[in-house]
């Protein structure tokens, strides 16, 4: 089958190769299914894994792709044959940049009403992280003010949509007019054009209840100053580079909470929370309240172009690979 396979960890992604005769996945065992993928979506961790820069390092060689959508074509022992031909969302730590994969049925969900395959493939990672960050870890309430950094990327735009769906007043910050236009399309009430090297939030000092930050870097300290007393700073990731050291005395004086958000780890640490959170985001999608912003679509054999757009910062929203 056709698949993208990472054979070695390289900063320039040269270890990633498109294979046209990669071995088929194993026949499904007990509790497993085989899915013919129709679409996959890329996330920043997929890019980091190609160089070994993510906390999870799969054994080489591996097929990247954390989320996708497809059709069940075979089921293993203990599962009903009625599952065959079901449209499902696939989630995991990899494997979606291929024509087929075998995995536990527990890793699948039925596609929510109203989502076509491209949207279903791009739905889970961003929406789940945004929901766990804002609603769960951030304890967001309707009417609260939210600043979303990196609001032109897939994660940032998911946070904009989620914060709006939860009743927040959202200001979206990004580095280009194109990214701000996408944030507006996702429901942002205001937008702020930023200089990446010298972000200026002086007009919003003490204004926000929450900051959602998947970027890090030079924006961290200026964004911290936008929080009111008791505000919550949600750390999602570090797209801008190495983590920034925080002045604990300032956090003390401002009563600021700094909260790390890892949706997958939360589900592993808090039994029963994972399915509950997935039901919540699927319900919001079925109601039309959230929808991933897809800025790039490429066929499977051109998935390297999507990785390149993500790496150079030109990608707006999510990249979807059609299969």
Exposure on the CB side of residue 28, measured as CA atoms within 13 A: 25
How does the average pLDDT of the chain come out, rounded? 95
pLDDT at 154: 94
What's the residue count for the chain? 323
pLDDT recorded at residue 136: 98
| Within this chain, domains 3-123+292-322 and 125-265 share the same CATH topology | yes
Where is pLDDT greater, at 103 or 245? 103
pLDDT at residue number 249 = 86
The pLDDT tens digits for 229-271 are 999 999 998 887 778 888 888 889 889 999 999 998 999 999 9
Query: First CA to last CA across the chain, in angstroms?
Result: 11
The token pair at 68 is 């996708």
CB 166 within 8 A of CB 142: yes
Q: From CA 234, how far away is CA 294, in angstroms rounded?
A: 24
3-state secondary structure of 309: helix
Q: Tell me what pLDDT residue 17 has.
A: 97
13-50: pLDDT as tens digits: 999 999 999 999 999 999 999 999 999 999 999 999 99
User: What percentage of residues in the chain have a pLDDT greater than 90?
Assistant: 89
Report pLDDT for 55.
Answer: 85
Of 3.90.1150.110, 3.40.1190.10, 3.90.180.10, 3.30.1370.10, which CATH number belongs to 125-265? 3.90.180.10
Q: State percent of the chain over pLDDT 70.
A: 100
Does the 3-123+292-322 domain belong in CATH 3.90.180.10? yes
Q: What is the pLDDT of residue 58?
A: 93
pLDDT score, position 313: 86
Half-sphere exposure of 108 (CA within 13 A, CB side): 26
* Residue 247 pLDDT: 85
Q: Confidence class of residue 92 from pLDDT cuts 50, 70 and 90? A: confident
Cα–Cα separations (whole angstroms), residue 85 to 35, 70, 105, 239: 9, 9, 14, 38
| Residues in contact with 313: Cβ distance below 8 Å, sequence separation at least 6, in sequence order | 175
The domain ranges of the chain are 3-123+292-322, 125-265
Integer Cα distance of 79 and 84 in angstroms: 10
Q: What's the whole-number mean pLDDT along residues 57-62?
A: 95
Report the pLDDT value the prediction gives residue 242, as an integer from 0 to 100: 73
Separation between Cα atoms, residue 310 and residue 305, nearest integer Å: 9
């Amino acid at each position: 089958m056709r698949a993208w396979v990472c054979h070695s960890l390289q900063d320039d992604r040269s270890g990633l190769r498109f294979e046209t005769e990669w071995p088929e996945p194993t026949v499904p065992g007990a509790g497993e299914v085989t899915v013919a993928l129709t679409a996959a979506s890329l996330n920043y961790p997929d890019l980091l894994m190609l160089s070994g820069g993510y906390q999870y390092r799969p054994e080489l060689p591996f097929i990247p792709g954390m989320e996708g959508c497809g059709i069940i074509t075979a089921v293993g022992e203990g599962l009903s044959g009625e599952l065959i031909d079901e449209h499902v969302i696939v989630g995991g730590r990899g494997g979606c940049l291929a024509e087929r994969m075998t995995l536990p049925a527990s890793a699948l969900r039925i596609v929510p009403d109203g989502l076509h395959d491209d949207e279903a493939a791009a739905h889970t990672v961003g929406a789940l992280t945004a929901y766990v960050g804002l609603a769960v870890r951030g304890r967001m309430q309707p009417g609260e003010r939210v600043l979303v950094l990196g609001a032109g990327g897939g994660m940032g735009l998911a946070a904009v949509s989620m914060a709006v769906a939860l009743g927040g007043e959202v200001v979206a910050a990004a580095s280009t007019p194109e990214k701000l236009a996408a944030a507006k399309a996702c429901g942002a009430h205001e937008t702020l054009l930023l200089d990446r090297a010298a972000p200026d939030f002086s007009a919003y000092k003490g204004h926000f209840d929450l900051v959602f930050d998947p970027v890090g870097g030079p924006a961290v300290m200026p964004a911290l100053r936008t929080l009111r007393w008791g505000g919550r700073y949600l750390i999602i990731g570090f797209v801008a580079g190495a983590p920034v050291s925080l002045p604990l005395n300032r956090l003390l004086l401002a009563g600021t909470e700094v909260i790390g958000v890892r949706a997958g780890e939360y589900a592993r640490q808090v039994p029963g929370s994972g399915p509950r959170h997935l039901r919540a985001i699927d319900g919001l999608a079925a109601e039309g309240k959230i929808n991933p912003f897809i800025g790039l679509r490429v066929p499977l054999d051109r998935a390297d172009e999507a990785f390149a757009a993500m790496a150079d910062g030109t990608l707006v929203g999510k990249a979807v690979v059609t299969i």
